[in-house]
Structure 1
């Protein structure tokens, strides 16, 4: 039976990979692929905080899909329902609240960072990010509704801060930073998004709900795996690989510089994506919010 990994052992692995004290690091992780740990996700978060030290800041995606009409998650959940069932489902969908709404599919480590005392979370109802550390407040302070993951979002600030991206037991398909490259591509396709948020209290004391609609870049991660495979073959001016690869616990981990990787992603998108972001069949139709 494999012994559980301790936070000290994982921190040693992270330092061997290249994570340093004072780093700002955007973390995507799979607890299962890291292997058994002494205290679950808490062991991984403790290791991350030890690796970046008191001066470092840990950032995680805390995206939400359960409150959205325009998410893949919503379309899967309502598939096969009648029109009446879909309407009832949408009427019961929970509104987003940045202080309480859990993320969707982001993993146990991200959720623990979100709930860590002193952590901060941006207020976007679809693509919020949470952070803990000295720069957490500055990173999460501004997140406009019509900028999911663009220049005015926390992701844009992370680019300017020299952030490093850590893929911990997950592939490039999870690399949020690549979305910033989509915004910087020439004439990226735009689409409409619809979601529900909490809005005050009703007469019975229950949280009120309000629907929001906005237009922004049509995010598409379907080719991120191919982009990542290409990125792993790229070299810096000094001849080193752009992506550092190693083991953290039982899982494969990758560490990459966000700014340089986004710059390369922009060039890759220019060559490998068709104008308009794909065929019409790939686009998601407009669905009018309830009420």
Structure 2
């Protein structure tokens, strides 16, 4: 059965009813496939988000390329397909500002430059990074048709908790006209256990949930995500890793990295 198309005005009402704050900072992680069909397609969904936060609000989306061996060009490098068509549409729009490094976010609104202007953050989601600035600015996080496994703010919580794992990674930048490979350690794993945040946030009444278009959506303050995750990480620094007996390759690599390259 063909689904009806959601009007932009309906999406705006749904966003405001969910609790999106006009004039605030809103970072969006999304699966447009789950939301659609929408009047105007991805651009229509972006228009609804921008209308909901208003001219004093700042809209933010992840915009990294995922290319470790290729330099990032903010004006031309596509966002990785893992981020979805909404994110890859957003950075191309007029008036949108994008970070000048491989772990880019894109933003539009009065605080866009403040959120995106930090130099290369290593690890990628440390406090002086776009996701760290959103936390600093008491922004909201909305998950449209995706779960907390797409919630980058949980990586910020890991770093603020000083988790013991750090998997060797690298990125490539251009410095003085030459390509330079930069090695770093990243708090990386499969992220499936980020779904635990649903339990913690719901238990404390900190997560609003509802329908946006055809998608299930979650809305949470960035600071609440970090606070609740840090409380859990204080009890178990490996809470987001699968136990060894599960044989998850990415989580196993994180476990094996403990102590790697650290003094």
TM interval, shorter chain, is: 0.7 to 0.9
Alignment partner, residue 168 of structure 2: 192
Alignment partner, residue 268 of structure 1: 232
Alignment partner, residue 18 of structure 1: 19
User: Per the alignment, in what secondary structure is the counterpart of residue 256 of structure 1?
Assistant: strand
Once the two structures are overlaid, the 10-residue window that deviates more, 190-199 or 115-124, is 190-199
Q: Where do 1:88-237 residues align within 5 Å?
A: 94-104=70-80, 105-125=82-102, 127-198=103-174, 210-235=179-204
The alpha carbon displacement at 1:109 in A equals 1.1
Return the index of the structure with the highest Cα Rg. 1
The alpha carbon displacement at 1:281 in A equals 4.0
User: Per the alignment, in what secondary structure is the counterpart of residue 91 of structure 2?
Assistant: helix
The alpha carbon displacement at 1:226 in A equals 3.2
The alpha carbon displacement at 1:138 in A equals 1.1
Once residues 109 and 221 of structure 2 are traced to their aligned partners in structure 1, the CA distance between those partners, rounded to angstroms, is 19
Alignment partner, residue 40 of structure 2: 39
Alignment partner, residue 261 of structure 2: none
The alpha carbon displacement at 1:219 in A equals 2.6
User: Per the alignment, in what secondary structure is the counterpart of residue 13 of structure 1?
Assistant: helix
User: Per the alignment, in what secondary structure is the counterpart of residue 202 of structure 2?
Assistant: coil
**Which runs of 5 or more residues in structure 2 are unaligned?**
245-250, 258-263
265 and 11 in structure 1: CA distance in 2 versus 1, 3 angstrom threshold: same
Alignment partner, residue 247 of structure 2: none
User: Per the alignment, in what secondary structure is the counterpart of residue 233 of structure 1?
Assistant: helix
Alignment partner, residue 248 of structure 1: 212
8 Å CA contact 2:171–2:183 kept in 1: the answer is no
The alpha carbon displacement at 1:266 in A equals 1.1
The alpha carbon displacement at 1:187 in A equals 4.7
Deviations 1:229-276 (A, max 9, x none): 3224332xxxxx10000000111001001102111111222334439x
Once residues 149 and 15 of structure 1 are traced to their aligned partners in structure 2, the CA distance between those partners, rounded to angstroms, is 28
Pair 1:48-2:49 in alignment = yes
8 Å CA contact 1:245–1:252 kept in 2: the answer is yes
CA RMSD of superposed structures (Å): 2.4
Once residues 144 and 238 of structure 2 are traced to their aligned partners in structure 1, the CA distance between those partners, rounded to angstroms, is 31
TM-score (norm. length: structure 1): 0.77
Once residues 119 and 130 of structure 1 are traced to their aligned partners in structure 2, the CA distance between those partners, rounded to angstroms, is 7
8 Å CA contact 2:189–2:253 kept in 1: the answer is no
Once residues 54 and 24 of structure 1 are traced to their aligned partners in structure 2, the CA distance between those partners, rounded to angstroms, is 11
Once residues 171 and 152 of structure 2 are traced to their aligned partners in structure 1, the CA distance between those partners, rounded to angstroms, is 20
8 Å CA contact 2:167–2:253 kept in 1: the answer is no
8 Å CA contact 2:6–2:213 kept in 1: the answer is yes
